[in-house]
Amino acid sequence: MERRSKIRYPVTLNVRYRTLGRTDRISGMGRTVNISSGGLLVEADQRTQVGAKVELNIEWPSLLDGSIPLQLVAVGRVVRCLESGFALAFKEYQFRTLSRKMQAAPGEGWDGMENAMMRSARA
């Protein structure tokens, strides 16, 4: 019997994540497995713990006005841990726009985003 109250959609998108808090901080890269308005399942390269507060930055596939890159920024709690990922219930989320210069190259992660922001600030 299905217990979820929201419909999940099988969507594969790149994700950067990091735990928020003072202890056991981790960050990593992953991919969404499925997503709903209430949460998502992430295939991840780092292990998290149930209850951990996590911030996600998800590369959104659609462009605003056909040219402006978007990302979904979400914060939530880990509700389930898997061998290779975690399920997260959204606490809050919002779409943000990025300039093309601010997009991190694939695989650059948080440092790449910071480097992109520095390049953008110097431009």
In a domain, 5, yes or no: no
In a domain, 27, yes or no: yes
From the list 21, 40, 20, 39, the residue with the least C-alpha distance to 30 is: 40
In a domain, 4, yes or no: no
Structural domains counted in the chain = 1
In a domain, 3, yes or no: no
pLDDT in tens, 5-63: 689 999 999 999 999 987 778 999 999 999 999 999 999 988 889 999 999 999 999 99
Pair of tokens at residue 75: 């914060």
In a domain, 31, yes or no: yes
Instruction: Look up the CATH number of the domain holding residue 19.
Output: 2.30.110.10
In a domain, 77, yes or no: yes
In a domain, 52, yes or no: yes
What pLDDT was estimated at residue 116?
Answer: 43
In a domain, 1, yes or no: no
What pLDDT was estimated at residue 57?
Answer: 97
How far, rounded to the nearest angstrom, does the alpha carbon of residue 12 sit from its chain's CA centroid?
Answer: 11
pLDDT in tens, 68-119: 999 999 999 999 999 999 999 999 999 999 875 555 544 444 444 444 443 4
Q: Which amino acid is at 3?
A: R
